[in-house]
């Protein structure tokens, strides 16, 4: 298996990866609850996923000379022009994206997918694209929901998708300062596994955590489920490296600064418009020795909000606090426990 084949991609037609699915067979209360809540009968046979062969994929414009020029930078095996790879890199994973991809709406797809190994190769691809007048779209985990991965339908130029999936290492961890240098293509589970092995955590867990990258979090100004304690990515990212056609922008990791304007603030949330982020220096934290989850039921939603306000005004510092309404509480609770109040009238805070 090549290093390109080791890069993790989601299914071209939906979230998640092939072979991984939710099964409710061992959850006897789940199917009746889903039928009652949304009218879906889970006993009916599931539909078959769409077939890639049913799609009409536009032909690539990356002809032999273009592929040869890219291969001179990253290697022939790391310039991919097959239909599946190009379709995977066409859209993100919003509802609009998934509806169009399943309907076969593909007015324009990337002409080639390129997998650089390091910052030098990223810089060489960026310089080549600038020289040739190609369109370059940085690609992390593919979970974007804002249309940032989608080529313009009438784009006449060659479009290259720059997949950062091979840049996925924790390069360095300074335990004195609690700063870690991490390559931008590292997906959430991979970087947490590397940090956890040394007793540390980033503490950033967006909903897309399983299929998104550190560089993508910075580029989209991500917020995580434990931001109450650890902060958003704008608080966590201390420094970074970003490749532009003119060279590499290097922002040193500073805990705080009184100077301005802030180039760091310009880059965070820029959606790849200013350059390709290759590395981020982040604030990490010691992995907690114990994790405790508490849940409470309240007689009304307003009572739950008042409890949340009291927690916020106290000295308690939970990593996440959340209040959910009756419907969400019903979905996330065991519906057949008579000792507890009905989830239809008892919002939950946890």
Q: Is the pLDDT of residue 346 over 60?
A: no
Burial class (CB in 10 A: 0-12, 13-18, 19+), 135: middle
221 among annotated binding-site residues: yes
Residue 273 is labelled as binding a ligand: yes
110 and 177 share a domain?
no
291 appears as a binding residue in the annotation: no
Strand 135-139 to strand 159-163: parallel, antiparallel, or no bridges (unpaired)? parallel
User: Does the annotation flag 222 for ligand binding?
Assistant: yes
Query: Residue 257 class from Cβ within 10 Å (0-12 exposed, 13-18 middle, 19+ buried)?
Result: exposed
Per the CB < 8 A criterion, the answer to whether 116 and 279 are in contact is no
Annotated ligand binding at 108? The verdict is: no
Q: If pLDDT is split at 50, 70 and 90, which confidence band does 333 have?
A: low
Q: Which of 17-26, 111-120, 286-295, 297-306 ranks highest by mean pLDDT?
A: 111-120
pLDDT at position 309: 92
Range 37-46 average pLDDT:
86
Within 8 A by CB and 6+ apart from 315, the residues are none
Looking at the domain assignment, is residue 269 inside a domain? Answer: yes
Tell me whether residue 232 is annotated as binding.
Answer: no
Tell me the average pLDDT of the chain.
90
In this structure, are residues 155 and 108 in contact, taking their beta carbons and an 8 Å threshold?
A: yes
Q: What is the CATH number of the domain that holds 123?
A: 3.30.43.10
Q: How far apart are CA 326 and CA 342, in angstroms?
A: 9
pLDDT of residue 296: 87
Lowest-confidence segment of 128-132, 222-226, 283-287 by average pLDDT: 222-226
In percent, the amount of the chain with pLDDT more than 90 equals: 68
Q: Are 135 and 200 in the same domain?
A: no
Residue 344, pLDDT score: 39
> What number is the average pLDDT over the span 163-181?
97
Q: Is residue 148 marked as binding? A: no
Among 36-45, 155-164, 239-248, 270-279, name the one with the lowest average pLDDT.
36-45
162-14-17-108 Cα dihedral, nearest 10 degrees: -30
Instruction: Tell me which residue of 41, 11, 39 sits closest to 102, measured CA to CA.
Output: 11
Same domain, 88 and 205: no
Q: Are residues 310 and 255 in the same domain?
A: no
| 150 located within any domain | yes
CA distance 70 to 77: 10
Q: Quick check: 347 pLDDT over 60? A: no
Give the residue from 111, 141, 163 where a domain finishes.
Answer: 163
* Mean pLDDT, rounded, for 44-53: 87
Cα–Cα distance measured from residue 219 to residue 148, given in angstroms and rounded to the nearest whole number: 10
Domain assignment present for 154 = yes
- Rounded CA-CA distance 39/118 in Å is 50
Q: What is the mean pLDDT of residues 319-328?
A: 84
Q: Is 2 within a domain?
A: no
Confidence class for position 169, pLDDT limits 50, 70, 90: very high
Q: Which of 247, 272, 5, 242 is nearest to 113 (CA)?
A: 5
Give a yes or no: residue 242 inside a domain: yes
Per-residue model confidence (pLDDT) at position 108:
98
Instruction: Compute the distance between CA of residue 64 and CA of residue 315 in angstroms, rounded to an integer.
Output: 64
Instruction: Assign 48 a pLDDT band (cuts: 50, 70, 90).
Output: confident
> Mutual orientation of helices 119-132 and 64-74 as an angle, nearest 10°?
150
Span 126-163, pLDDT tens digits: 999 999 999 999 999 999 999 999 999 999 999 999 99
Strands (E), the chain: 79-80, 112-114, 135-139, 159-163, 170-174, 179-183, 200-201, 237-244, 247-251, 276-283, 285-286, 296-297, 323-324, 348-349
Per the domain annotation, does 239 fall within a domain?
yes
pLDDT band at 179 (very low <50, low <70, confident <90, very high): very high
Q: Are residues 200 and 113 in the same domain?
A: no
- The span from the CA of 123 to the CA of 244, in Å, is 7
Residue 215 CB partners (closer than 8 Å, separation 6+): 138, 140, 164, 184, 185, 277, 278, 280
Q: Is 212 annotated as a binding residue?
A: yes
Same domain, 205 and 282: yes
Note whether residue 17 is domain-resident: no
- The count of domains in the chain is 3
Which residue range forms the structural domain that includes residue 152? Answer: 30-163
Q: Are residues 48 and 148 in the same domain?
A: yes
Q: 244: annotated binding-site residue?
A: no
Give the best-scoring range by mean pLDDT among 146-150, 186-190, 224-228, 314-318: 186-190
Per-residue model confidence (pLDDT) at position 196: 97
- The torsion angles phi and psi of 251, rounded to 5 degrees, stand at -110, 115
Where residue 348 falls among pLDDT bands split at 50, 70, 90?
Answer: very low
Q: Is 272 annotated for ligand binding?
A: yes
Q: Write down the residue that tokens 């990866």 correspond to.
A: 17
How many helices, marked H, and strands, marked E, lie in the chain? 12, 14
Among 22-36, 269-283, 301-315, where is mean pLDDT lowest? 22-36
205 and 111 co-located in one domain: no
**145 pairs with which residues across the strands?**
none
Q: Taking residues 316-322, what's their average pLDDT?
A: 85
213 annotated as belonging to a binding site for a ligand: yes
The annotation status of 345 as a binding-site residue, yes or no, is no
Burial of 90 (0-12, 13-18, 19+ CB in 10 A): buried
Domain end, chosen from 236, 259, 286, is at: 286
Using the 3D structure, point to which of 163, 189, 209 is the last residue of a domain.
163
pLDDT value of residue 1: 58
> Do residues 319 and 203 lie in contact, with contact meaning Cβ atoms separated by under 8 Å?
yes
Known binder of ligand: residue 35?
no
The CATH code of the domain that includes 175 is: 3.30.465.10
């Amino acid at each position: 298996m090549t290093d390109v084949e080791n890069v993790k991609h989601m299914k071209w037609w939906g979230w998640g990866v092939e072979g991984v699915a939710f099964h409710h067979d061992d959850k006897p209360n789940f199917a009746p609850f889903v039928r009652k809540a949304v009218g879906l009968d889970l006993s009916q046979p599931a539909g078959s996923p769409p077939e890639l062969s049913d799609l009409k994929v536009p032909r690539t414009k990356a002809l032999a000379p273009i592929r040869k020029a890219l291969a001179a930078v990253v290697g022939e095996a790391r310039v991919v022009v097959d239909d599946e790879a190009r379709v995977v890199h066409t859209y993100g994973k919003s509802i609009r994206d998934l509806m169009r991809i399943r309907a076969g709406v593909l007015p324009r797809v990337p002409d080639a997918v390129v997998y650089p190994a390091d910052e030098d190769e990223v810089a060489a691809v960026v310089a080549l694209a600038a020289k040739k007048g190609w369109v370059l779209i940085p690609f992390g985990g593919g979970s974007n929901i804002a249309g940032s991965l989608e080529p313009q339908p009438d784009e006449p130029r060659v479009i290259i998708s720059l997949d950062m999936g091979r840049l996925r290492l924790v390069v360095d961890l300074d335990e004195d300062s609690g700063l870690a240098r991490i390559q931008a293509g590292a997906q959430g589970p991979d970087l947490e596994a590397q940090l956890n092995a040394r007793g540390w955590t980033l503490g950033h867990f967006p909903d897309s955590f399983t299929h998104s990258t550190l560089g993508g979090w910075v580029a989209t100004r991500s917020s995580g489920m434990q931001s109450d304690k650890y902060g958003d990515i704008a608080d966590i990212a201390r420094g970074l490296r970003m490749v532009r056609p003119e060279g590499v922008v290097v922002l040193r990791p500073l805990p705080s600064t009184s100077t301005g304007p802030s180039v760091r603030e310009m880059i965070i949330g820029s959606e790849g418009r200013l350059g390709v982020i290759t590395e981020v220096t982040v604030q990490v934290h010691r992995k907690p020795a114990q994790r405790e989850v508490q849940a409470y039921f309240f007689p009304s939603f307003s009572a739950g909000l008042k409890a949340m306000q009291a927690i916020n005004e106290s000295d308690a510092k939970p990593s996440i606090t959340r209040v959910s309404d009756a419907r969400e509480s019903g979905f996330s609770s065991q519906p057949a426990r008579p000792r507890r109040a009905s989830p239809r009238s008892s919002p939950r805070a946890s």
